[in-house]
Amino acid sequence: MPTTIFKPIHSNNPDPGVTVEGTHTPAELVRQSGVWIDTAGSAILAQEEYELEPCDAPLWLVAEEGSCIFGHKDLSLTLNKGECVIVPAGTVGCTLQKAQDARILWLVLAGPLMENFMRQMNAFNRLPARQGMLPTQVVLIRQIVQVVVRHMDTADASFQLQQLLWALLAAHCGQSVANSATLSYEIARVVDAMRAGSYKDSFSLAEMAAISRMPVETFRKRFTAELGIPPLGYLQFLKMERAKALLRSGVGVRQTGVEIGMPDPYHFSKQFKHVVGMSPTAYLKHVGGKSMSEDKAGE
């Protein structure tokens, strides 16, 4: 996928506009599913006319704001806000006209089952064609772009992206799909900060609010509304999930507590039991972890 798919034509100004894009490296389980999001991006176009670079997979183009005219040979399609065109892989000679100030979203899929997915969407064509697009699907594609760009070239958001991808298909098939499947930027900043330290850091509510750049009470309400759980409860949950993974991999009880920011073994064991329903050592026996001779400090 080129750095930008938009090449200005018939203009002395080479500026294509404001463009952002990201590439997704799928997690192994997502790769095994056979289809995943490869590249996604957004552009506010600055010129009147563009030529589109050909892609090695079908390209979804969505007019998020404004309008433009998509052209290919004898085909001329006006893309108004919320409308989409699918460009088959390798198609050359595609243009956008009257495109100045239009905001365009684009999406490219990959994987051995990509063609099957496109056929289920009635989107696998020999030639460029308009694609039916619900308002919900436009929102989902916008969220896909935001997630891919924020997690550029990583697998950090693979499962979230897969959820959004299958929500596109679900919406196409008439199933009820919520508009909001991603976090707001402010709340995502806090969640990313938690993840950055592998949940070893113990943020206070005030520290989380400062990261989000919101007043404490506003942040608490927003966080709870978006994730369905208060911020400190969410952090505690993630700490215990990491603890479970560490225990199962053979890390000792005491060291596991240190790794999630709970160096006091008694406190760690108490919190673990409160969330998981059993002590760390009992959990190891229950799941058959690698280390069955853990110290029982604090239990």
Neighbours of 227 (CB within 10 A): 16
> Could you tell me which of 150, 69, 149, 65 has the C-alpha nearest to residue 104?
65
pLDDT digits (tens, 9 = 90+) for 219-238: 999 998 877 788 998 898 88
Tokens of 236: 């505690």
Residue 152's contacts (CB-CB under 8 Å, 6 or more residues apart) are 22, 23
Write out pLDDT tens, residues 67-82: 999 999 988 999 999 8
Cα–Cα distance for residue pair 209/231, rounded to 1 Å: 10
Q: What is the token pair recorded at 253?
A: 């009880």
Q: Tokens 């299958």 sit at which residue?
A: 166
Residue written as tokens 């919520």? 178
The side-by-side arrangement of strands in the sheet containing 36-45 is: 17-23, 36-45, 103-110, 59-65, 84-87, 129-131
What DSSP letter does each residue of 16-50 carry, written as one string? -EEEEEEE----HHHHHHS-EEEEEEEEEE-SS-E
Sequential pLDDT tens for the chain (299 residues): 545 788 898 777 777 788 999 999 999 999 999 999 999 999 999 999 999 999 999 999 999 999 999 999 988 999 999 889 999 999 999 999 999 999 999 999 999 999 999 988 888 888 898 888 878 789 899 999 999 998 998 898 999 999 999 988 887 776 656 556 667 888 888 988 988 888 899 999 999 999 999 999 999 999 988 777 889 988 988 898 889 889 888 899 999 999 999 999 999 999 998 888 788 988 887 666 555 444 444 44
Structure tokens that stand for 132 in this block: 């039916």
Q: Which two tokens stand for residue 43?
A: 């552009």
Residue at 18: amino acid letter:
V
pTM: 0.72
